[in-house]
Amino acid sequence: MDAGAHGVIVPMVNSREDAERAVASVYYPPRGSRGVGLARAQGYGTAFADYRAWLDKEAVVIVQVEHITAVENLEAILDTPGVDGYIIGPYDLSASMGIRGSLTTPG
């Protein structure tokens, strides 16, 4: 985010707690836990207020569902405030189910 990204894609989110940590890492306190420093995204400190306002409205957090544990916790993960979407990682997911690489095996 410090380099100016509009969002993040976070791999291996398996629980609500993982999702909460992902969201917290994108936002500054009190909403999140991201550290404050001089960085490109906020003009090395000259446009911090503008950047923070933009961030709170526009930042995107996508979680990757790549393990059977994430599937089991999917509702809680997707209900996490600040999670904007998800991507399924089919190969890691299939491996965690003991059917590595099979994308058509009934589950």
Q: Is 105 exposed, middle or buried (0-12, 13-18, 19+ CB in 10 A)?
A: exposed
- Say if 106 falls within a structural domain: no
CATH of the domain at 77: 3.20.20.60
HEC string for 7-64: EEEECCCCCHHHHHHHHHHHCCCCCCCCCCCCCHHHHHHCCHHHHHHHHHHHCEEEEE
Domain that holds residue 71: 7-96
Give the integer Cα–Cα distance in Å for 31 and 28.
6
Flag whether the pTM goes above 0.85: yes
- Say if 14 falls within a structural domain: yes
DSSP state, 86?
Answer: E
- Say if 101 falls within a structural domain: no
Q: How many domains does the chain have?
A: 1
Query: pLDDT tens digits, residue range 15-51?
Result: 999 999 999 999 999 999 999 988 999 999 999 999 9
Backbone angles phi, psi at 101, to 5 degrees: 80, -10
Q: How many CB atoms lie within 10 A of CB 58?
A: 9
- For residue 107, what pLDDT is reported? 60
Query: pLDDT tens digits, residue range 73-102?
Result: 999 999 999 999 999 999 999 999 999 988
- Say if 24 falls within a structural domain: yes
Strand pairing class (7-10; 60-65): parallel
